Amino acid sequence: MLSYNGFRAALVVVVLLLIVGAASAQEPEMTEPLALGDQIHVLEIELAPTGPPSIEMTTDDRIVFSAEAAGTTSGAIAGTMTSRISEVNRLPPPANQTFSETFVIETELGRLEGFYAGSIFVEEGTDAAPINAHGYILNVSGAYADLFMAEVFVSGQVNFVDGRSTGAVSTMTIFPR
């Protein structure tokens, strides 16, 4: 059993370890940012659903849709991309619908996170629907510091088989601020 003085000494050691640990945990990593701020960046994106969508019906005749997708980016920034897509529409859904998408792009050098929102035109009986959206990059790792709060424009199409999305192919254009 520890004596009072032994307990105090142990407590002082624990507090010092916490202080030293906290100080060393706050040391910043030095990262060389890529020189990305003076040019427009164009990415080609291919995404596929990662599982079934979530669909909820509301008592006021709306449908709440969400789905997750994953795939690759190529072009100016090559890596993997994951996204979460959301829509809320009146029933029956109109041909021109709005959607939002949050995304994470991961590369060997770091990551970018952001969102875009826009429209998808779903014409009955077709197997593809065009999308157009606008958003921002909201979070970056050090290598991509020049792209923080960059504007994002996305255009492309969602492909369907029997009324279900099989994926999307799009172009993301990034405009640094």
Give CA–CA dist 152/85, Å, rounded: 16
Q: Sketch out the chain's domains with CATH numbers.
A: 1-30 (no CATH), 41-175 (2.40.160.20)
Q: Among 1-15, 29-43, 147-161, which is the least confidently predicted range?
A: 1-15
Distances (CA, A) of 102 to 6, 9, 24, 109, 161: 54, 50, 33, 20, 24
pLDDT at 17 over 70: no
pLDDT value of position 13: 61
List, for residues 50-84, the tens digit of each pLDDT value: 999 999 999 999 999 999 999 999 999 999 999 99
Q: Regarding predicted confidence, which is higher, 162 or 104?
A: 104
Give CA–CA dist 132/99, Å, rounded: 10
Cβ contact 34:109 at 8 Å: yes
pLDDT value of position 16: 57
Across the chain, mean pLDDT equals 90
Q: Regarding predicted confidence, which is higher, 165 or 13?
A: 165
* Of 121, 111, 43, 53, residue with least CA distance to 76: 43
pLDDT value of position 6: 64
pLDDT value of position 103: 98
* Of 171, 167, 176, residue with least CA distance to 47: 167
Structure token pair of residue 6:
């032994």
pLDDT at 26 over 70: no
pLDDT at 47 over 70: yes
pLDDT value of position 128: 95
